[in-house]
């Protein structure tokens, strides 16, 4: 009887340990290639990044874009709903902080999309992805999503905020008024231990609020 109880306890602990490991969420990086579809003027095309790297750890994420003019890094936290945009361009390093209220206000301005799951699938970076059709009533956009990478609220702070799962291929307009698209396609998924310092503001960046940043360019509060 004692052996049976002991074996049962070991089994329960093993199952619980497996469940915790499975539900712990993805920690590591996802690297996307960047291509364009449609006609773009040379100046706009030169500003496009060649790749984008997303880094995840718990509720924290970092999106790094390297361009010919410098780097942009967006730090976000899905629990606190706060964001920081780090600009390292033309000799200036600025950290633009958005509060929970400012972030949620900006998200409310994004259009609500109707999401339709299709039966089409394809492999991207070694993961099976489902195709979804998203429409805002005027235009339809296709995205490919995997549920095999566990990142809770992975898309909470962008135009695909209501899409569940991890976006492995998606697009966005290259310019507000044009038809050209920027396409992001995952090319590498790498699990790794990520240091907390990745999500901290470097000491050599000048910190300011979004309001202060807008005032620098002649704007102000909306």
Say how far apart CA 17 and CA 64 lie, in whole Å: 33
Burial per residue of 106-126, b for 16 or more beta-carbon CB atoms within 10 angstroms, e otherwise: eeeeeeebeeeeeeeeeebbe
CATH topology of domain 25-210: outer membrane lipoprotein receptor (LolB), chain A (2.50.20)
The domain locations on the chain are 25-210
The yes-or-no verdict on residue 12 having pLDDT over 80 is no
Residue 126 to residues 56, 149, 153, 186, Cα–Cα distance (Å): 19, 11, 22, 10
Give the burial class of 22: count Cβ atoms within 10 A of its Cβ; 0-12 exposed, 13-18 middle, 19 or more buried.
exposed
- In tens, the pLDDT along 15-49 reads 344 333 444 589 999 999 999 888 878 877 787 88
Per the confidence metrics, is the pTM higher than 0.75?
yes
pLDDT, tens only, 116-163: 999 999 999 999 999 999 998 888 899 999 999 999 999 999 989 999
| C-alpha closest to that of 137 among 107, 111, 109, 173 | 111
């Amino acid at each position: 009887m004692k052996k049976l109880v002991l074996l049962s306890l070991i089994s329960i602990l093993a199952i619980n340990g497996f469940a915790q490991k499975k539900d712990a969420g993805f920690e590591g990086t996802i690297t996307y290639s960047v291509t364009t579809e449609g006609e773009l003027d040379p100046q706009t095309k030169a500003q496009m990044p060649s790749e984008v790297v997303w880094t995840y750890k718990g509720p924290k994420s970092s999106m790094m874009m390297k361009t010919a003019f410098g780097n942009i890094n967006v730090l976000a936290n899905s629990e606190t709903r706060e964001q920081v945009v780090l600009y390292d361009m033309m000799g200036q390093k600025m950290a633009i902080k958005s509060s929970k209220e400012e972030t949620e206000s900006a998200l409310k301005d994004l259009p609500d999309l109707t999401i339709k799951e299709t039966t089409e699938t394809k492999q991207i970076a070694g993961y099976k992805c489902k195709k979804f059709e998203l429409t805002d009533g005027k235009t339809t956009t296709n995205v490919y999503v995997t549920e095999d990478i566990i990142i809770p609220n992975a898309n909470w702070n962008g135009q695909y905020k209501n899409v569940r799962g991890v976006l492995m291929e998606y697009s966005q307009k290259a310019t507000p008024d044009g038809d050209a698209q920027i396409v992001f396609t995952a090319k590498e998924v790498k699990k790794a231990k990520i240091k907390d310092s990745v999500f901290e503001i470097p000491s050599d960046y000048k910190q300011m609020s979004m309001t202060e940043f807008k005032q620098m360019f002649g704007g102000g509060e909306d």
